[in-house]
Amino acid sequence: MFDRTQARNLLPRHTFLAVLFCFIALQVFDGRAAAQDEPPKPVQLTPNLSRFEATDPASGIHYVRLLLSLPKVADAPEGQAPPRFSIECRDIKGVHEMQWFLSFGGVDSFEFVAPFHSTPQTLYPPQFAQVKLRMVFEGYTKSKPFLRSWSALRNGEFRYSDPGLHSANMEPTRWFLPFLNSLPGLRIGYPKPEKGDPPELFFPTQPLLEELRKTPICSP
pLDDT tens for 37-81 read: 455 778 999 999 999 999 999 889 999 999 999 988 767 677 789
> What does the pLDDT read at residue 109?
82
pLDDT band (50, 70, 90) for residue 102: very high
pLDDT of residue 19: 38
Residues 83, 84, 90: CA angle, nearest 5 degrees: 160
pLDDT band for position 17 (cuts 50, 70, 90):
very low
Read off the pLDDT of each residue in 109-116 and give the average, rounded to a whole number.
79
On average, the pLDDT of the chain sits at: 82
Residue type, 109: S
Higher pLDDT, 182 or 12: 182
Candidates 76, 45, 112; CA nearest to 198 is 76
How many other β-carbons are positioned within 10 Å of the β-carbon of residue 206? Answer: 14
CA–CA separation, 119 and 34 (whole Å): 32
Distance CA 72, CA 69 (A): 9
User: How far apart are the C-alpha atoms of 95 and 102, rounded to whole Å?
Assistant: 24
pLDDT given at position 38: 55
Q: Parse the chain into domains and list their residue ranges.
A: 4-37, 43-218
Contacts of residue 171, Cβ cutoff 8 Å, sequence gap at least 6: 148, 163
Q: Confidence band (pLDDT; 50, 70, 90) for 8? A: very low
